[in-house]
Amino acid sequence: MYEFNFNRPASIADALTAIADADDGQFMAGGQTMIPVLKQRLAMPSDVVELANIDDLKGIAVDGGTVTIGAMTPHSEVHNSLEVADAIPALADLAGMIGDPHVRNRGTIGGSVANNDPAADYPAAVVGLGATVVTDRREIAGDDFFVDLFETALVEGELITAVRFPLPDKAAYMKFPNPASRYAIVGVFVSQSNGDVRVAVTGAGPCVFREVAMETALAADFSADAVAGISVSGDDFNNDIHASAEYRAHLVTVMAKRAVIKAG
Amino acid sequence: MPSVSMTVNGNAVGGDIEARTLLVDFIREHLRLTGTHVGCDTSQCGACVVHVDGTSVKSCTMLALQAEGCQVETIESLADGDTLHPMQEAFREHHGLQCGFCTPGMVMTAVAMAKENPNLTESDVRHGLEGNFCRCTGYQNIVESIIAGAKAMQG
């Protein structure tokens, strides 16, 4: 790891100032991806602006129609939240599948979403529930947020403050995890809200995407049988030592079926 | 050089360190508490697990500066002199180790698990160990140790 200046602002305003003043600054949330990246010298920021002391970025708020999770809320808190489990059980369930207990105690929703790892779990929930990413300056629809491999709609110096999820009628997430890292080799999030169906796939491609053919089939008939016959093309899928593109394509259908069954 | 201060095993500690100093390196190299191990250094194996403000973390994936003002507990905090902590005693009794390299992280993870849920089932323990690797035992005796240790901690 190269040396850097470490900043620990106590407010969003101070964090934005710290980033603006740095030659090449980078925000750090829980650091569960960023610290390994720094160790590998894949990033060498002049300044790390760490967000753990900013109370406005923490906590969970549930009102009639939405669950809002502060960007610096760790996965363990979402997983253990009775309010989240009551409002969107699939979201609490997903948070409990990320990494391992120690990673979940440090890793945050804001960090996961901002990083947009192709195998991360939260992007599937953001797209699969039609959530909104709230930043210091605007709101970004989940469908527009994830652009490509590790690329998001965030502009230089923009800070995620929260993610706001609408309450679905039903939803579920199933994933086939890498046995060592617990990242999704393929994960599928399905939801149904007022007849609208979303199917979001993570792990398979360069970043999360919606599987439209499955959404159409499930809108007509929300059952595992409705997606069982839909095979997806693995042409643009990830191909690595963990799984071939063809295998990932097969897993999309399998995980979609399982998620639909789990959603009930 | 930035300075850091925290409480480790009940003692106020601190010093001037490079910003890039990992918490595990601060614990091992600066404080000379070498019970906490570095296994993979890639946040997978869990040999470096310590407690920060009561929750288990991988200290190879946290900067020492991120622990500013925190209460840190390492494996050295558990035994009371020559008297082992009930979880350590359970690992000894059930032979929950072979080479012992992963053991500090296993025991710290086990204590965190037992504090959260004293009535651990085998399934709870196996899922709770997803972030801790042992290359010797096949886990069977570790799981037995943790279930027994969690019971002993209630007594």
A231: DSSP letter: P
Looking at residue A76, which CATH number applies to its domain?
3.30.465.10
pLDDT tens column, A192-240:
999 899 999 999 999 999 999 999 999 999 999 999 999 999 999 999 9
- What burial class does residue A221 get, using C-beta atoms within 10 Å of its C-beta: 0-12 exposed, 13-18 middle, 19+ buried? exposed
Nearest residue, CB atoms, A1 vs list B20, B49, B58:
B20
- On whether both A43 and A63 belong to a single domain, the answer is no
pLDDT tens column, A77-106:
999 999 999 999 999 999 999 999 999 999
Does A235 contact B at CB distance below 8 Å? no
How far is the C-alpha of B132 from the C-alpha of B58, rounded, in Å? 10
How far is the C-alpha of B33 from the C-alpha of A21, rounded, in Å? 38
**pLDDT greater than 90 at residue A181:** no
- pLDDT tier at B15, thresholds 50, 70, 90: very high
- pLDDT tier at B22, thresholds 50, 70, 90: very high
pLDDT tens column, A104-114:
999 999 999 99
Tokens of A258: 């399982």
**pLDDT greater than 90 at residue A115:** yes
pLDDT at B13: 98
Q: What SS3 state is found at A139?
A: strand
- Closest chain A C-alpha to B22 CA, distance in angstroms: 9
Instruction: Specify whether domain B3-77 bears CATH 2.40.50.100.
Output: no
- On whether both A157 and A120 belong to a single domain, the answer is yes
Instruction: Let me know: does A251 contact A185? Beta carbons within 8 Å.
Output: yes
Does A4 contact B at CB distance below 8 Å? yes
Looking at residue A44, which CATH number applies to its domain?
3.30.43.10
Is there a common fold for B3-77 and B86-154? Answer: no
How far is the C-alpha of A228 from the C-alpha of B57, rounded, in Å? 40
- On whether both A132 and A45 belong to a single domain, the answer is no
* pLDDT > 90 in chain A, percent: 98
- On whether both A66 and A155 belong to a single domain, the answer is yes
Reading across the β-sheet that carries A66-70, which strands appear in turn? A60-62, A66-70, A160-166, A132-135, A139-141
Complex confidence, ipTM: 0.96
Specify the CATH number of the domain B86-154: 1.10.150.120
Contacts of residue A31 in chain B, CB cutoff 8 Å? 61-63, 66
Alpha-carbon dihedral A8, B60, A104, A60, rounded to 10 degrees: -10
How far is the C-alpha of B142 from the C-alpha of B153, rounded, in Å? 16
- What burial class does residue A36 get, using C-beta atoms within 10 Å of its C-beta: 0-12 exposed, 13-18 middle, 19+ buried? middle
Domain ranges across chain B: 3-77, 86-154
* Domain count along chain A: 2
- pLDDT tier at B48, thresholds 50, 70, 90: very high
Nearest residue, CB atoms, A31 vs list B56, B61, B128:
B61
- On whether both A15 and A124 belong to a single domain, the answer is no
Task: Find the residue in A nearest to B46 (Cα).
Answer: A102
Nearest residue, CB atoms, A102 vs list B20, B42, B131:
B131
- On whether both A84 and A209 belong to a single domain, the answer is yes
Contacts of residue A77 in chain B, CB cutoff 8 Å? none
Q: Which H or E run contains A102?
A: helix A101-106
- On whether both A19 and A131 belong to a single domain, the answer is no
Contacts of residue B18 in chain A, CB cutoff 8 Å? 3
Instruction: Let me know: does B2 contact B65? Beta carbons within 8 Å.
Output: yes
Task: Find the residue in B nearest to A32 (Cα).
Answer: B61
Tokens of A250: 């097969």
- pLDDT tier at A160, thresholds 50, 70, 90: very high
**Domain carrying residue A45:** 5-50
How far is the C-alpha of A164 from the C-alpha of A62, rounded, in Å? 10
- On whether both A89 and A24 belong to a single domain, the answer is no
Looking up tokens 């363990």 gives A76
Nearest residue, CB atoms, A99 vs list B55, B112, B131:
B131
**Side chain identity at A47, as an amino acid letter?**
D
- On whether both A29 and A95 belong to a single domain, the answer is no
Interface of A with B in 92-111 (CB under 8 A): 99-103, 105-106
pLDDT at A179: 83
Arithmetic mean of pLDDT, B19-30:
98
Tokens of A181: 């890292």
